[in-house]
Amino acid sequence: MPLITWGPQLETGIPTIDAQHKRLVDIINNLNDALNAGRRDEEMGAIFDELVAYTETHFTYEEKLLTSHEYDELEEHCREHRVFTDQIKMDRDNFNAGVWEFEQRFLDYLRGWLINHIQGTDRAYVPTLKEAGVE
């Protein structure tokens, strides 16, 4: 059973953003599946690396899009991205160093953060992008 179920509750109505968000959901679900299956640290580490890399890719895309359309809340939006990215990078580095282990509560944190960010912070920029003709 997936940790996060993709559906209309997570859509912004901007297809490129929705596709990227869905990919993040898939990666988090892969981490959850790997943890529940008792996968080896190497496999967990590879998925964790993918999460960090794709998160950075998505945030860079989103921030460039918001910058190009002069989004009023850009600074706060980017701050949220930095805080989250710094946290998952630190956790990834600690995991790779062998001083931190995956637990369900970390996956619950990822789930909660992503859902709240999409439904709150990300949905707040949708009117600006739609008004600018971004589809």
Domain range list for the chain: 8-131
CATH number of 8-131: 1.20.120.50
Q: What is the pLDDT of residues 9-61, one digit of tens each?
A: 999 999 999 999 999 999 999 999 999 998 888 999 999 999 999 999 999 99
Alpha helices in the chain (DSSP H): 15-36, 41-68, 74-96, 104-116, 123-131
Residue with the larger pLDDT of the pair 74 and 103 = 74
For the cut 90, the answer to whether the pLDDT of residue 101 exceeds it is: no
What's the whole-number mean pLDDT along residues 100-119? 94
pTM for this entry: 0.95
Tokens representing 100 are 């931190």
Count of positions (residues) in the chain: 135
